[in-house]
Amino acid sequence: MKNITFITTGQPSTNPRLVKEAETLIKLGYQVKVICCFYQEWAREFDLEIVNRNKDVYIYCGGDPVNEKLSYYKTRLRQKISWRLFNFTKAFDVPENAISRTHAEALTIAKSIKTDLYIAHNLGALPAAVLAAKFNHAKVGYDAEDMHSGQFKTKDEKGYLLNKFIEEKYFPQTDYFTAASPLIAQNYKEVYSYLDPVLINNVFPKIELPIRSGTDTTQPLKLFWFSQTIGTERGIENIIRAMALVAKPTELHLLGNCSDEDKLMIIKLAEYNRLTADQIHFHRPIAPDELFKFAARFDIGMATETAPNLNRDICLTNKIFTYIQAGLAMIASDTQAQRLFLEQYPATGSLYQKDDINSLANCILGYAENPESLTQTKQMNYHLGQTELNWENESKIFQRIIESQDISVKNQDNKSEF
């Protein structure tokens, strides 16, 4: 097996997990293509560096709102119509076009690429991968970074019904299945007993960073939170309320794309809780490769998931591993996934009750009052990222999965129809 094609409904810089897998295979000598599409305007400039590292690998489809407006708005209209039609019919690729703006375009490109294995990197990309594999007698892999049918509060929601339909239709047609957290793997296995999910942690390549010998007690304690989007229901409000209870100088640094409305909400909340203007700092998105050096400037990484649905309760976000790789201490809410992680690696940080502001404040205060413990935790986490929790180790699992699919391509002609 030498030719592998990835499919995603996002951009390279919004899916670092895909980029890690693709670049790993390129280094191993595979011929790799990545079919992707416009997703976020802020990510456009950061895509350039990723694409330029491996020219002719990334293939965009479905247009964008700046350079290819006609294609972009046509695909958006098709998705909206398909979303409405999903209530009435499951035929004519209605569900497939409802879950992905670029399903038809990605499928056309994927069919044109003679490949041995298609890897779908989210649920919206899976139908195109399966149908292209059927067309070219190839294999299909799927990576579950989220449990998509678990992203909803009730099973009556239309989004749940659409995601569940795609899962039930296309999961049986995959040849391998990976998951980004132990509990995503476990929950998918419980729902679909025929699956055999393999865990691949969302870790990152090792990076050499200067480690501070001690914590500067003359400076405020610097808390750090990041995501692609800064918004509600992510625990930021709880951090601000907890900071108001901590009788020590603290700062909160937020990195990500933030709307004017959400930024104003955060500022007003900080003012209401009597925090000063210099305690809340907003930072614009940066290139994925620059994140670790940027994060290393701070003291504590905040993993403050509020678990508004099952998926958020069981996912293990890349925040956890970014903080460890950058050598930060960590404060994490007690979601199922984060509690399990802290049980396995108790020295990496502190766990608080996600609905208890006092519990969070006590965790912050615990580090503020014990700078030696903070320094030791930061140094231990950086060492853990250098020795155990890194992509150099985890990529070996991914490599073994790919090699296990390397059955003679001739045998694919005898594979039963999907």
Q: What is the pLDDT of residues 225-236, one digit of tens each?
A: 999 999 888 899
Kindly tell me the number of DSSP H helices and DSSP E strands found in the chain: 17, 13
- Residues 399, 363 share a domain: no
Q: What local confidence, expressed as pLDDT, does residue 415 receive?
A: 40
* HSE-CB of 138 using CA atoms within 13 angstroms: 26
Whether 177 is in a domain gets the answer yes
CATH of the domain at 257: 3.40.50.2000
- Residues 132, 281 share a domain: no
Whether 215 is in a domain gets the answer no
Q: What is the pLDDT of residues 263-297, one digit of tens each?
A: 999 999 999 999 999 999 999 999 988 999 999 99
Domain around 358 = 221-388
Q: What local confidence, expressed as pLDDT, does residue 233 receive?
A: 83
Domain count for the chain: 2
| Gyration radius from the chain CA atoms | 22
**DSSP at 68:** B
- Residues 398, 379 share a domain: no
- Residues 352, 404 share a domain: no
To the nearest whole number, what is the mean pLDDT of the chain? 94
Pairing type for strands 349-352 and 329-333 reads: parallel
What CA–CA distance (Å, rounded) separates 166 from 122?
A: 11
257, burial (CB in 10 Å: exposed 0-12, middle 13-18, buried 19+): middle
Q: What local confidence, expressed as pLDDT, does residue 416 receive?
A: 35
- Residues 144, 31 share a domain: yes
Q: What local confidence, expressed as pLDDT, does residue 218 receive?
A: 81
Whether 370 is in a domain gets the answer yes
Q: What is the mean pLDDT of residues 295-301?
A: 96
Whether 209 is in a domain gets the answer no
Whether 368 is in a domain gets the answer yes
What CA–CA distance (Å, rounded) separates 224 from 255?
A: 8
What CA–CA distance (Å, rounded) separates 138 from 124?
A: 19
Q: What is the pLDDT of residues 70-93, one digit of tens each?
A: 999 999 999 999 999 999 999 999
